[in-house]
Amino acid sequence: MDEDRIGSPALRLLGVTKRFGPNTVVDGVSLTLGDGEILSLVGASGCGKSTLLRLVAGLEEPTAGEIAIGGRVVAGPGIFVEPERRGVGFIFQDYALFPHLTVAQNVAYGLRGPRRAEAPGIVDEMLERVGLPGFGARRPHELSGGEQQRVALARALAPRPSLLLLDEPFSNLDRRLGDRVRARTLALLRELGAAAILVTHDPEEAMASGDRVALLRSGRLVQIGAAEDLYHRPVSREAADFFAAACALPGRRVKGAIETPLGRFPAPEGMREGEAASVYVRAGSVRLVPAGEGVAARLLNRSFLGHCYQLLLAVDGLDEPLRAHVGASEAMEAGPEVHISVNPAEALVFPAERP
């Protein structure tokens, strides 16, 4: 590594934009990834996550903006470094192993220069690290989905990339296997000190996996920060919609506070009197209170979620049932009519007409 690149961020994007014809798919994205940092990139289907990864990998060329990896500009005005010269590893959703090559040949595939000569030792080490020692002679079709994913990981990490890009790598595995393979993958990335971007459309996976989480919507970066920030302090209605897993109550500012079917909530600064609001209430913030307190609701359904019970409640003025997560004794005591309240400090309030 050049002297002047020591201490450079693993990745820096500056105003990166990608247009396909008239469609702007990635729109002025700027972010910096520290050495060894793992970033979850999350957003709804079609928001541009894969395109952003492909731009970093060099599989697409930006229409505008600049990309630097480890301090070296790899894409920008008049500059384009080919994918194989970027020192970036890539794992796709379908693993993309070469079916005609053995596991060992797959893992050795990306080794270049002096590391090529050491291939047998590196292959053994990588297969050991991903928990597949002795699998070198097998072919991809002789492996389970989880094993194929681990070979893809060994192949991507064998050349020791400073940056690894993972595009929904666990989504083809069932939930429990996916969780296990994800934990193993993250531990290995930490061990090797590789920075990584993990693309997912699942907010829980994003929050559980990344040092930071970046939320993309329509090609734009909506918010980037610690998982707790996105969950507790979403910057906008868009971010709350994605992360809060909450019911949105309609409201309106009346006499300085937001009036809703569940009572009054503090108005955010800058909201005008009479302006419409959306108040996000999480299931864990809804409490059952004695009759005569709070607001009356009708119990529509009770279900066991494992860590709690979920009550579905009909409340006058709400189009959709409200979800409440409560403990076993509360759930069992709840009759057809209940009374509920929400701590105003636990709700998220946004102007309804602005994004």
Ligand X SMILES: Nc1ncnc2c1ncn2[C@@H]1O[C@H](COP(=O)(O)OP(=O)(O)OP(=O)(O)O)[C@@H](O)[C@H]1O
Given 47, 197, 227, 249, the residue binding ligand X (CB under 6 A) = 47
The answer to whether 260 and 279 are in contact (CB under 8 A) is yes
Site for ligand X, residues 196 to 225, rule: CB under 6 A: 201
Under rule CB under 6 A, residue 146 binds ligand X? no
Residue selected from 10, 13, 16, 51 as contacting ligand X according to rule CB under 6 A: 51
Among 34, 46, 327, 355, binds ligand X (CB under 6 A): 46
Q: Closest CB to ligand X among 43 and 140?
A: 43
Residue carrying the six token digits 């798919």: 25
Residue range at the interface with ligand X (CB under 6 A); choices 43-51, 84-92, 291-299, 330-338: 43-51
Residue 49 interacts with ligand X (CB under 6 A)? yes
Identified binder of ligand X from the candidate list 45, 99, 113, 303, rule CB under 6 A: 45
Residue pair 297/287 in contact by the 8 Å Cβ criterion: no
d(C-alpha 227, C-alpha 212), whole Å:
6
Q: Which stretch binds ligand X (CB under 6 A): 48-56, 241-249, 314-322, 345-353?
A: 48-56
Between residues 92 and 109, which has the closer beta carbon with respect to ligand X? 92
User: Whole-angstrom Cα distance, residue 112 to residue 295?
Assistant: 68
**Phi, psi (rounded to 5 degrees) for 228:** -60, -35
Which residues, at least 6 apart from 263, have a Cβ–Cβ distance to it below 8 Å? 294, 295, 341, 342, 344
Nearer to ligand X, 38 or 42 (CB): 42
- The answer to whether 289 and 341 have CB atoms below 8 angstroms apart is yes
Where does this chain touch ligand X (CB under 6 A) — which range of 38-46, 79-87, 154-162, 241-249?
Answer: 38-46
Query: Under rule CB under 6 A, which residues in 3-32 are in contact with ligand X?
Result: 20, 25
Residues near ligand X (CB under 6 A), total = 11
Alpha-carbon distance of 33 to 192, in angstroms, equals 16
Segment interacting with ligand X (CB under 6 A) among 44-52, 70-78, 261-269, 277-285:
44-52
If the CB atoms of residues 44 and 119 are measured against ligand X, the closer one turns out to be 44
Task: Based on the shown chain and the rule CB under 6 A, indicate whether residue 59 belongs to the binding site for ligand X.
Answer: no
State the DSSP H helix or E strand holding residue 327, giving kind and residue range, or none if neither: none
Q: Does 50 bind ligand X (CB under 6 A)?
A: yes
H-helix or E-strand spanning residue 256: none
155 forms part of the interface with ligand X (CB under 6 A): no
Assign residue 7 a region (left: φ > 0; alpha: ψ between -120 and 50; beta: otherwise).
Answer: left
150 binds ligand X (CB under 6 A): no
- Measure the CA–CA gap between 228 and 206, rounded to whole angstroms: 11
User: Minimum Å distance from CB 41 to ligand X?
Assistant: 9
Q: How far is the CB of 52 from ligand X (least distance, A)?
A: 7
CB of 61 to ligand X, least distance (A): 11
Q: Which residues contact 15 (CB under 8 A, 6 or more apart)?
A: 28, 29, 30, 64, 65, 66
Query: Contact, 350 vs 268, CB < 8 A?
Result: yes
Strands in 38-42's sheet, in edge-to-edge order, are: 88-91, 163-167, 195-200, 38-42, 212-217, 220-225
CB within 8 Å of 264: residues ≥ 6 apart:
257, 258, 344
Q: Contacting ligand X (CB under 6 A), which of 11, 31, 37, 48?
A: 48
Alpha-carbon span 50 to 167, nearest angstrom:
7
Q: Is 169 an interacting residue with respect to ligand X (CB under 6 A)?
A: no
Can you give the binding site for ligand X, defined by CB under 6 A?
A: 20, 25, 43, 45-51, 201
